[in-house]
Structure 1
């Protein structure tokens, strides 16, 4: 058996789980939720097994009686178990007793929110630091506290980043040979369409239309393209396109499966800016899923092929690199109790790829650049935001694919993605 490799989330779990009576780890299938949770569990109730569901249905009190911590895995297979756990918490279950893992409840299931009883935590695919491609020298948490030293060099180059984009952050997939990875990722997507959607209460009458919509969504990676345009791109030439409600159902089902990881528009906590866009920036749970939906492997990306990319004036590789950056920043920010958004003015004059908001309301602004050098033109939006926010801007940086971390004369930091860590 392969030894367990700690995740960034483990540090938060070390601190919080012993004190919380119930904690839920959410995330897409294959991300490592069970592997992480089982490290902390004395007992496991696996609700993917019919026999286990039958036992809990017959006698929910077993949840309180088994030695804790108890992991309740695949809880969405028996949605009422959520309320059983909530009642057990209300009845005085000891701290650290329940760990829940799985997806959201199927559509139509009526359950209590769990607010005040069950604390949710999200697990994403492996960040670049968790993949151990290089040792990070710059901490996002330190940047948020104005304590980071900007230094270091990396041997990671563009081809290495492309490999990480296509390898995926799913632990059981990324170490496989390239052809096997492609087969596994294709099977993952097929399973989503043919099995996961129906299990979540969303019957799929035309699987080919859903698959086309997923491909169009992938083509819109790292953009704020309207859902209506995504649907148009997915169904060219069809006289009777699916209704808008169908598109929203796709979005809701994918969200419940944690397969969408859209970046919300940043809303300032202080009144510095007006006329900001409110549309989210589209991203799937992992850039490798987007690459597979577009039929692009590492060699195709390095040749500059675009696949089905029609919705955005720019390269798909640049969009996928931004996706890889966002996946990592999301993970590091969650560990630092920070929130991630993006900024775009309504007229499109100014854009900031990522805004990381400190709990006190101040922000770290990040631009992403797929290049081995950074020019003045790459920092103009960061300079604009610095003028607008003043002291509420903690720091500004460009994450790029070059080799050296340094600070420019204008004060903006330049950081290779491989050197950024939690």
Structure 2
């Protein structure tokens, strides 16, 4: 994995027309981006965190070039914000959710192995609430769903209101405009608080919501009394 990142920085970036003058800054940006996975953290905040000790920080245009080059190399796989085809919702955020091509790459960039991820003290990040392990779990679920959605010619996005009051981890939209709402929880049980945003989405878009689903780390698939489906990650499939 380290050799792969070295190859990207030293060879593939220049081949894309982006010569890297300060490889250490690009590596720091990648690691900070990994720490922000599964969030909508602003690029300016990622840059500040990656270059906190530098007096000569790269320009915003430079970091946007990083993003564009990494996307063209398929290292970044961001989830776009959902833009409804029908005007059911307003005040939606327009920031993408940050994901790399593979959650294993994110863990390696952060220098975390399996043992470290399972230690609670290794999980926090200054860029987001929750833990790195939870973010990796969401990343893995999103990667799987994106693969299956492409086979069904469906689009994957996420929903977050501008003030952050409501957020649905994944929105899977079919060609007819109807959607699946998906929440992702790294837990072995699903509580009422875990489905409140799915209830809100159902109230707002009504029949255009095909189903509401929580994907979790438990072992049993079932449907709750409120008609929300609960599915283990291990049972996901096309």
TM class by shorter-chain length?
over 0.9
What does residue 276 of structure 1 align with? 92
Q: Give, in whole Å, the separation in 2 of the partners of 1:227 and 1:278.
A: 13
> Could you tell me which of 195, 202, 213 is aligned with 2:29?
213
Write the mapping of 1:175-214 to structure 2, written as runs, cut at 5 A.
Answer: 185-214=1-30
- Which of 155, 168, 190 does residue 352 from structure 1 map onto? 168
Instruction: Note if 1:249 corresponds to 2:65.
Output: yes
Whether 1:343 aligns to 2:155 is: no
TM-score, L = length of structure 1: 0.56
Pair 403,190 (structure 1): closer, same or farther in 2 beyond 3 Å? same
| Post-superposition offset of 1:308 | 7.9
* Residues 352, 365 of structure 1: 8 Å contact kept: yes
CA offsets per residue over residues 33-82 of structure 1, 9 Å max, x none?
xxxxxxxxxxxxxxxxxxxxxxxxxxxxxxxxxxxxxxxxxxxxxxxxxx
How far apart are 1:251 and its partner, in Å? 0.4
Cα gap change, 1:232/1:307 in structure 2, threshold over 3 Å: closer, same or farther?
Answer: farther
1:400 alignment partner, one of 216, 222, 225: 216
Distance 2:47 2:89 in 1: 32
Could you say which residue in structure 2 is the equivalent of 1:43?
none
- What TM-score results when the alignment is normalised by the length of structure 2? 0.98
1:318 and 2:123 aligned: no
Q: Distance in 1 between matches of 2:133 and 2:120?
A: 8
**d(CA) in 2 for partners of 1:255 and 1:347?**
28
SS of residue in 2 equivalent to 1:398: strand
2:83 pairs with one of 242, 263, 267: 267
Instruction: State the match for 2:51 in structure 1.
Output: 235
How far 1:353 moved relative to its partner? 0.2
Q: Tell me if 1:390 matches 2:206.
A: yes
The SS at the match of 1:355 is strand
Conserved? CA contact 1:216–1:233, under 8 Å: yes
Give yes or no for contact 1:295–1:307 (8 Å, CA) kept in 2.
no
Distance, in Å, in 1 between the alignment partners of 2:124 and 2:185 is 22
- For structure 1, the residue ranges without an aligned partner over 5 or more in a row are 1-184
Higher relative contact order (CA 8 A, sep 6+): 1
Q: Matched residues in 2 for 1:308 and 1:367: separation?
A: 21
Per the TM alignment, residue 309 of structure 1 is displaced from its structure 2 partner at its CA by 2.5
1:366 maps to which residue?
Answer: 182
- Cα deviation digits, residues 336-355 of structure 1 (max 9, x gap): 11000000000000000000
Partner Cα separation in structure 2 for residue 290 and residue 383 of structure 1: 32
How many Å apart are 1:312 and its aligned residue?
A: 0.5
Q: Which moved more, 1:207-216 or 1:304-313?
A: 304-313
Q: Hey, what's the Cα distance between the residues in 2 that align with 1:309 and 1:291? A: 13
* Contact in 1 for aligned 2:123/2:131 (Cα 8 Å): no
SS in 2 for 1:354: strand
Match status 1:416 vs 2:232: yes
In structure 1, C-alpha distance between the alignment counterparts of 2:203 and 2:23, rounded to whole Å: 49
Give 1:376 deviation, angstroms. Answer: 0.2
2:230 alignment partner, SS class: strand
Does the aligned pair in 2 maintain the 1:401–1:416 contact within 8 Å? yes
- 2:143, 2:208 → 1: CA distance? 25
